[in-house]
Amino acid sequence: MATFIQLLVSGLATGAIYALIAVGFTLLWQTSQTINFAQGEFVMVPAFFILEAMYLGAPFWLAALIGIALSVLLLGLTFKLIIVDPMLKHGVLPLVISTIALSLFMKEMVKNLYSSQAQPFPALVAPYDFHILGAVISSQSLAVLAVAISAVVLLHLLLHKTRLGRAMQATAQNPTLARILGISVRRMVLYTFMINAVLCAIASILISPIYLAKFVNGETLGIAAFLAAIIGGFNQVRGAIVGGFLIGILDNLSAAYISSTYRAASPLLILIVIIMFRPQGLLGRVEERTV
């Protein structure tokens, strides 16, 4: 029982990080039909911005802020304006290919300009173990959960309680109508790209102390986020959150109870089952195909 609780908590912690990445992924899809294959690399890179800022003498909190700002600038604004915009007129496929090339580019840049070695990354809180019902729960897991959940709650408040958020939702649901109502669709889409960059940077800060900062991290993170988004429902923010937690918990439990060498396989199996029986995802809506 104690081990189960331990696994559950650490699963929830990784799941919360996956959820953050998956939420950003679905936001991009909803507002601009962008399938970002570089999403995993978007999480891998901010850690190196932060490490570089710390190397230049900034304390951790300042470096983290610099990292988030740089992410918004490069992975949000620049990505949208230089890579996505010229591609949108060609349809979905060229953009998919382009983001695949972008992920290759980011991986190689980090490998060549920084290092191919895994870099230690400062933890958010001092290591301390809580003993609850015989289970050992690290302060690290709890901090990750707290930060990730507050990020999601803030995002929810932004999307549902503010005028700006409602405008963004209108853009996602019906761009033409939103435009008629006087919403600047272009700007709203740009905002979602910036929000995605912030979410990725936060995920980066949370995951890097656990996995260390390494140029190949993006692959597994990207796959986990895609799977979470599909399992939960591609067109729902709520779905991505549920999917993220589900993948995180299952990942941890199957690694412990089934096989640690095949931990990457269990999400794939769930994915196939979900696609067979509920192709729109657990919480997703069925989308109509238009000619």
Q: Give CA–CA dist 234/230, Å, rounded.
A: 5
Residue with tokens 């901090």: 143
Residues between 7 and 36 with contacts to another protein, criterion CB under 8 A: 35
Q: Give CA–CA dist 194/70, Å, rounded.
A: 11
Residues between 191 and 250 with contacts to another protein, criterion CB under 8 A: 219, 223, 226-227, 230, 234
Instruction: State yes or no: residue 97 binds another protein (CB under 8 A).
Output: yes
**Which burial class, exposed, middle or buried, applies to 154 when counting CB atoms under 10 A from its CB (0-12, 13-18, 19+)?**
exposed
Beta strands in the chain (DSSP E): 129-132, 135-138
Indicate which single residue of 93, 132, 153, 181 sits in contact with another protein (rule: CB under 8 A).
93
Q: How far is the CB of 40 from another protein (least distance, A)?
A: 10
The stretch near another protein (CB under 8 A) out of 9-17, 59-67, 93-101, 204-212 is 93-101
* CB closer to another protein, 40 vs 209: 40
Instruction: State yes or no: residue 275 binds another protein (CB under 8 A).
Output: yes
Q: How far is the CB of 265 from another protein (least distance, A)?
A: 5
Q: Give CA–CA dist 286/234, Å, rounded.
A: 10
Q: Give the interface size with another protein as a residue count (CB under 8 A).
A: 43
Residue type at position 166 = R
**119 bridge partner residues:** 213
Instruction: State yes or no: residue 176 binds another protein (CB under 8 A).
Output: no
- For residue 98, what are the CA distances in angstroms to 49, 71, 79, 113? 23, 19, 11, 22
Residues forming contacts to another protein in the complex (CB under 8 A) are 35, 37, 83, 86-87, 90, 92-98, 100-102, 104-105, 108-109, 111-112, 219, 223, 226-227, 230, 234, 261-262, 264-265, 267-268, 271-272, 275-276, 279-280, 287, 289, 291
